[in-house]
Amino acid sequence: MSFCYAKRTLRPIIAAIFLSSLCLMTAALGQVDEKVHRAPDLGGGVVWLDQGAPVPHHISGYRGHVVLVDFWEYTCINCIRDFTVIKRWYSKYHQYGFDVIGVHYGEFNIGFKVSNVRDAAQRFRLPWAVVADQEGSAWKAYASQGWPNRYLIDAKGQIVMRIFGEGNNGVMEAKIRDLLAAEHPEVMKIDLIRTTTNSGRSAEALRRRLTWASYMGAARSRIWAAITRVMCQISCRSTRLRMAE
């Protein structure tokens, strides 16, 4: 049995902070992978946290539907930001056969307590099926490497798109619409993106307000968030590799 840990010397800590910062900012770009392959089942080490109407507990039970498998972690700010986007997709397309399975795989020990995952799902008001991946069986089956990590499965049970990290939401939504349109062509009449914010200002107007200073401020926030996460990892031995037992 092995654990992820950092040596208590300054050089490895600085290197870890630097690399983590780069990874965090790169993940925000949303890396797209469109290799098509069969979607694996989630494995026997998961706990389904049924919160509403009964749902299938195997990927094969979703045949005929378009499914988004979303790997998340309830302390991950990137995942929390992503919920807004996925909730919008779910509200727009669920009636046409679009489903979401939120697979929670913990980064720290607290993330492997089922009650904590259930509380987090309720706190974030996730309307879709939620799975607690207690033994890493789903994480390993999907070869996930971080959070957020989204896999889009077509009606035949094939993974047709994967996006690692935030971003490229327009690409993902366009693919969702294309898959649903085979049986429900009316989805193409739904607005592809939201054109206004809650305050009524257009998205384009907000984009024009983005200055270089605000961009650098956002980058600095990501770096400090990365430093915090790395220092937590240094002080806590990760349980991420417990599936190797």
Q: Could you count the other beta carbons within 10 Å of the beta carbon of residue 187?
A: 20
Comparing 9 with 28, which gets the higher pLDDT?
Answer: 28
So what's the pLDDT on residue 229?
A: 54
| 3-class secondary structure, 112 | helix
**What pLDDT score does 54 carry?**
84
d(CA 236, CA 224): 18
Q: Nearest 5°: CA angle at 45, between 98 and 32?
A: 45
Q: For the chain, first and last CA: distance in Å?
A: 6
Average of per-residue pLDDT values in the chain:
78
pLDDT: is 97 or 239 the higher one?
Answer: 97
Q: Yes or no: say if 45 and 137 are a contact pair by the CB < 8 Å rule.
A: yes
Q: Which of 22-31, 45-54, 62-71, 230-239 has the lowest mean pLDDT?
A: 230-239
pLDDT value, residue 223: 57
Cα 59–63–67 angle (5° rounding)?
65
Q: What is the pLDDT of residue 24?
A: 45
Report yes or no: 77 and 95 within 8 Å, Cβ to Cβ: no
Q: Which CATH architecture has domain 30-201?
A: 3-Layer(aba) Sandwich (3.40)
- Kindly tell me the burial class for residue 149, based on how many C-beta atoms sit within 10 Å of its own C-beta (0-12, 13-18, 19 or more): buried
Q: Provide the 8-state DSSP code for 182.
A: T
d(CA 126, CA 78): 15
- Cα(8)–Cα(132) distance, integer angstroms: 32
Q: Looking at the DSSP assignment, which residues form a beta bridge with residue 131?
A: 48, 103
Would the pTM count as exceeding 0.75?
no
Phi, psi values for residue 158, rounded to 5°: -105, 135
Question: Do 135 and 243 contact (CB within 8 A), yes or no?
Answer: yes
Tell whether the model's pLDDT for residue 210 goes beyond 80: no
Q: Using 50, 70 and 90 to split pLDDT, how confident is the model at 157?
A: very high
